[in-house]
Amino acid sequence: MTKFLSVVFLMSAGLIFSGLAHSQSEQQLKNDIQKKLGANAKVRSVSPAPVAGLYEILVGNEIFYTDSAGKYLIQGEIIELSTGKNITEQRQSDLNRIKWSDLNQANAIKNVRGNGSRQLAIFSDPNCGYCKRLEKSLQQLDNVTIYTYLIPILSPDSAQKAKQIWCSPEPYKAYIDWMVNGISPSGKTDCSNPLDKNLTTAKSYGITGTPTIFFTDGSRFPGAVQITDIEKKLNSLK
């Protein structure tokens, strides 16, 4: 029995040291890749990819791959042939997921339609053409609550319009008047507003473009996606 326990102990110790060595090699690989990419690229993590011999590199919110020696940087998607599953796309989706409850709804323009049972959040710039296209499509949605977070990232005029919209007596009306009907917002810009907080939130979520849509399960749709895709997603969350 003593001999058996000794063998088990040695096996366990071997696994522990193997794990430590593996972890150290990944850290070394991360350091090497960071040096090669330079200070402008922030390497967040390096971990084994689902393909033997490859490692996943997370740079910002983007996924790349490398070999065990860190000699090559591979950009592309891993597809599992037996199932057709896009492993890279699924991994990217998981990385982009947020916690819905972390969104501060007080910083958004709220619009409730019908029973408001379905919910989504949109990060939008008032001067974003794709956002305007999306808003026109969203007019078709019913039984939905939409939270719009204004993030003026395109120009100084975006900040001006965002402030005028937020400071208006009816922010949602002012927003739709501009985005859908082309009626420019007017009025004061000196009221207390959440624009800086929204910009900070957008940065923390890795939002680099507008519109960006979030759903209650934390998933996101970037860009002016089709209304049919939004409906499909909302219905899947019931």
* For the chain, domain boundaries: 24-96, 100-236
Bigger pLDDT: 3 or 88? 88
Contact 148/165 with Cβ under 8 angstroms?
A: no
Q: Say which amino acid occupies 143.
A: N
Widest CA span in the chain? 85
According to the model, what pLDDT value does residue 17 have?
Answer: 38
Q: For domain 24-96, give the CATH number.
A: 3.10.450.70
More confident residue, 121 or 68: 121
3-state SS of the chain? CHHHHHHHHHHHHHHHHHHHHHHHHHHHHHHHHHHHHCCCCCEEEEEECCCCCEEEEEECCEEEEEECCCCCEECCCCEECCCCEEHHHHHHHHHHCCCHHHCCHHHCEEEEECCCCEEEEEEECCCCHHHHHHHHHHCCCCCEEEEEEECCCCCHHHHHHHHHHHHCCCHHHHHHHHHCCCCCCCCCCCCCCCHHHHHHHHHHCCCCCCCEEEECCCCEEECCCCHHHHHHHHHHCC
Domains 24-96 and 100-236 equal at CATH topology level: no
C-alpha span between 144 and 129 (Å, rounded): 23
> What is the reported pTM?
0.73
Q: Which of 114, 109, 226 is nearest to 178 (CA)?
A: 109
Tokens linked to 195: 């624009």
Predicted local distance difference test score (pLDDT) of residue 196:
97
Give the mean model confidence (pLDDT) for residues 128-152. 97
**Cα-based angle 101, 107, 110 (whole degrees, multiple of 5):** 85
How confident is the model at residue 1, as a pLDDT? Answer: 45
> What is the Cα–Cα distance from 113 to 144, expressed in whole angstroms?
5
The arithmetic mean of pLDDT across residues 194-207, rounded, is: 93
Indicate the CATH number of 100-236 among 3.40.30.10, 2.60.120.260, 3.30.300.130, 3.40.50.300.
3.40.30.10
For 53, left (φ over 0), alpha (ψ -120 to 50), or beta?
A: left
At residue 185, the pLDDT reads 95
Residue 187: predicted pLDDT = 85
Answer whether residue 221 shows pLDDT above 50: yes
- Identity of the residue numbered 97: R
Helix 129-138 × helix 227-236 angle, to 10°: 60
